[in-house]
């Protein structure tokens, strides 16, 4: 596959089948370890979800960027995500168009195949949950993800970008916290996500069964904090996702998925008012965390990750939680020069650019943040950041959707992250 074919695939839009059924839940719960189980289907997730590969790769880049330091090896690991551009292949001439692994993707074996499945699983899982929350709360909703182990837990160390637990609670922790806010609403929503990926249907069941333990690894006081486990199966036939939710009672009245309309998990004004006081949160040492404290620390982590994505050092220092700041200490010499590019629909973005040789030409990758959000992050006012993100949220849904090109592909996240891929002829 040459770079121009790969870019055209980045702009394709086959649906991803998301399965969330009673049959799936029964199989998973039957395989659960002691203390696990209790997973239930989410009817609203059981559907075809339109996802472009460009959006999946942007979500992967956002979710994993905070894991990497500035040294040469880990910088390589960060940018090596773009090797996955060639692993998607659309199956269009079937009753239900879908993605499958390309020939290059199928040739990856052993440990590298496991890494591929895990990392693409992150991109798909966060994309599926974000799409679900956008359908549920409306196109103006903004969902932001933060890596629990990297930004909020001092009991973890990073080795080659991978978090390893050194604290007493081990690895039973969900991967991500998602914070959803909505313009005009005083409240916000918390979700916990455990992300998985595999080539095997059977292994997907086992992954979800173990995830039921991990989803209980954070106790949130004063909020329900819905907890999702999503495992993406990627093989030569098709990609699809298995998704379930941990059953939680609401005031003892029933399962967590019984009521679609829920009370807010936190009040935005309360979170903003105590934002800096939550900079020291360490989930490894707090057995029960107030929802406002968890939401505040998560927003700080998300905004710091956005700033780091675009090499905005001033904004990074303004927002980074203490755990992330200690883990991601950087000097001026570490920073790459920032550039400004034009995106679709008159939007501009600021960030960093890299260029690598690939079959058929060169690939130019830009990763950064939409200028309005970048400006708000630099000014350092939380309300400005939320306002800029809300203004962008609904506009960005049409970015790249109608683009039919083998030379460029764009993706924009609801919180302001931006990706541009360009194929350059040699």
- Check residue 381 and report its DSSP letter: -
Range of the domain at 26: 3-309
Q: Has residue 40 been placed in a domain?
A: yes
Q: Which helix (H) or strand (E) holds 413?
A: none
Q: Has residue 150 been placed in a domain?
A: yes
Q: Has residue 416 been placed in a domain?
A: no
Structure tokens at 184: 């005009």
Largest CA distance in the chain: 64
Q: Has residue 351 been placed in a domain?
A: no
List the pLDDT tens digit at each of the 426 positions of the chain.
889 999 999 998 889 999 999 999 999 999 999 989 999 999 999 999 999 999 999 999 888 775 555 555 456 556 667 778 889 998 877 777 888 998 888 888 878 888 899 999 999 999 999 999 999 999 889 999 998 877 677 554 444 445 544 443 445 789 999 999 988 889 999 999 999 999 999 999 999 999 999 998 888 876 778 999 999 999 988 999 999 999 975 433 334 443 445 688 999 999 999 998 888 888 877 778 999 999 999 999 999 999 988 999 999 999 988 887 776 665 555 667 899 999 877 899 999 998 888 888 899 999 999 999 999 999 999 999 999 999 998 777 666 566 778 999 999 998 999 999 999 987
Q: Has residue 144 been placed in a domain?
A: yes
> pTM for the whole thing?
0.90
Q: Has residue 347 been placed in a domain?
A: no
Q: Has residue 332 been placed in a domain?
A: no
Domain count of the chain? 1
Q: Has residue 363 been placed in a domain?
A: no
């Amino acid at each position: 596959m040459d770079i121009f074919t790969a870019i055209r695939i980045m702009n394709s839009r086959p649906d991803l089948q998301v399965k969330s059924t009673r049959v799936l839940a029964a199989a998973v719960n039957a395989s659960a370890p002691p203390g696990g189980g209790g997973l239930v289907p989410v009817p609203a997730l059981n559907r075809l979800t339109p996802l472009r590969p460009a959006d999946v790769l942007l979500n992967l880049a956002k979710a994993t960027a905070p894991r990497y330091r500035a040294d040469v090896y880990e910088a390589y690991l960060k940018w090596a995500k773009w090797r996955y551009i060639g692993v998607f292949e659309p199956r269009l001439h079937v009753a239900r168009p879908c993605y499958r692994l390309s020939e290059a993707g199928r040739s990856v074996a052993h440990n590298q195949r496991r890494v591929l499945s895990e990392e693409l699983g992150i991109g798909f899982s966060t994309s599926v949950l974000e799409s679900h929350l956008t359908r549920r709360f409306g196109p103006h909703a903004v969902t932001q993800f933060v890596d629990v182990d990297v930004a909020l837990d001092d009991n973890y160390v990073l080795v080659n970008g991978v978090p390893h637990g050194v604290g007493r609670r081990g690895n039973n922790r969900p991967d991500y916290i998602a914070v959803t806010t909505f313009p005009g609403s005083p409240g916000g929503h918390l979700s916990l996500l455990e992300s998985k990926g595999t080539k095997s249907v059977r292994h997907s069941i086992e992954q979800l069964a173990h995830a039921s333990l991990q989803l209980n690894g954070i106790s949130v006081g004063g909020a329900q904090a819905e907890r999702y486990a999503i495992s993406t199966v990627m093989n030569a036939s098709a990609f699809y996702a298995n998704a379930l939710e941990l059953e939680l009672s609401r005031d003892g009245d029933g399962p967590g998925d019984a009521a679609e309309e829920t009370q807010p998990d936190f009040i935005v004004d309360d979170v903003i008012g105590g934002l800096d006081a939550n900079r020291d949160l360490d989930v490894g040492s707090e057995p029960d965390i107030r929802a406002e404290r968890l939401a505040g620390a998560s927003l700080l982590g998300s905004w710091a990750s956005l700033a780091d994505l675009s090499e905005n050092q001033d904004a990074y220092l303004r927002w980074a939680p203490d755990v992330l700041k200690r883990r991601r200490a950087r000097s001026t010499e570490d920073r790459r020069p920032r550039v400004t590019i034009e995106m679709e629909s008159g939007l501009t973005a600021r960030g960093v650019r890299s260029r690598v040789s690939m079959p058929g030409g060169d690939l130019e990758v830009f990763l950064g943040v939409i200028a309005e959000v970048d400006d708000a992050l630099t000014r350092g006012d939380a309300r400005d950041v939320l306002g800029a993100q809300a203004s962008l949220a609904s506009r960005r849904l049409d970015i790249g959707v109608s683009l039919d090109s083998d030379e460029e592909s764009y993706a924009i996240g609801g919180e302001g992250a931006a990706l541009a891929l360009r194929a350059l002829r040699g």
